Amino acid sequence: MAEFAYNNKVHTGTKVLPFEANSGQNPRMGFELRKKRKYKQAEKFTERIKEVQGEAKAALAKVQEDMKYADKHRSEAVEYKVGDLVLLSTKDLKWQMVGWRSKKLMERFVGPYKVKAIISSNAVELELPTTVKIHLVVNVSRIRRYTSQVDSQQKKVPQPVIIQGEEEWEIEKILNKRKVQGKDKYLV
């Protein structure tokens, strides 16, 4: 039944029924009476087949031409080398970023991480820290080339002071204090 339904529907690419393109006639339901045909019928049949196949070829050529325009907007894949710095998409890391409260405010890419090895044109192996618990081999659609920031955009992270073997930071001034879920938070 499904095969009959498929063969009895006009194909979008060829603009004719698939059964008609192959045999030159519409599919039978099984209850039509067969008529005896003469040789003239056979000649008409072959002419009809050639006509239908010509129309199908023309329709396929048009569809093929239309598909060329879709390829014009595609860009070439970025090729990475061993040692390149890349950013990793957080799309698959959402469960690891539990501390983040809002998806909207979460960073879209984290890193930079070094490319350790090129597996194929679609996959690279990264040097990831042990805190990122994903497979080291990543598809290239999940990474972006890292470009360093302009000096005015870079975040200046203060260096810690080591006191009795522990890292501590020197604070100039406490600007504000509030309680969040029972814990004190300070704005410095």
Nearest residue to 20 (alpha-carbon basis) of 33, 32, 9, 34: 9
Assess whether 9 and 52 both reside in one domain.
Answer: yes
Using a pLDDT cut of 90, give the percent of the chain over it: 11
Q: Is residue 69 very low, low, confident or very high in pLDDT (cuts 50, 70, 90)?
A: confident
Counting the structural domains of the chain, the total is 2
Does residue 14 lie in a domain region? yes
Provide the pLDDT for residue 54. 92
Examine the domain organization and report whether 63 and 20 are in the same domain: yes
Query: What is the mean predicted confidence (pLDDT) over 23-30?
Result: 69
> What local confidence, expressed as pLDDT, does residue 162 receive?
79
CA angle 125, 127, 130 (to 5 degrees): 120
Q: Please compute, for residue 4, the number of CA atoms within 13 A of its CA located in the half-sphere on the CB side.
A: 5
Please state, rounded to an integer, the average pLDDT across all residues of the chain: 78
Confidence of residue 125 (pLDDT cuts 50, 70, 90): very high
71 against 126, higher pLDDT: 126
Are 6 and 65 contained in the same domain? yes
Name the band, by pLDDT with cuts 50, 70 and 90, for residue 13: confident
pLDDT tens profile 127-165: 888 777 788 898 888 888 888 877 666 666 667 777 887
Q: What is the per-residue pLDDT for 180?
A: 86
- Considering the domain boundaries, does residue 176 fall inside one? no
Domain boundary (31, 51, 72) is at 72
Residue 143 lies in a domain: yes
Peptide bond into 27 cis (omega under 30): no
Residue where one domain finishes, among candidates 72, 95, 125: 72
Look at residue 34 and tell me whether its pLDDT is greater than 70. Answer: no
What does pTM read for this prediction?
0.44
Residue range(s) defining the domain that contains residue 109: 85-156
In a domain, 79, yes or no: no
Between CA 92 and CA 3 the distance in angstroms is 40
Return phi, psi of residue 22, to 5°. Answer: -85, -40
3-class SS shares of the chain: helix, strand, coil, % to 5: 25, 20, 50
Residue 161 near residue 168 (C-beta atoms within 8 A): yes
Residue 164 lies in a domain: no
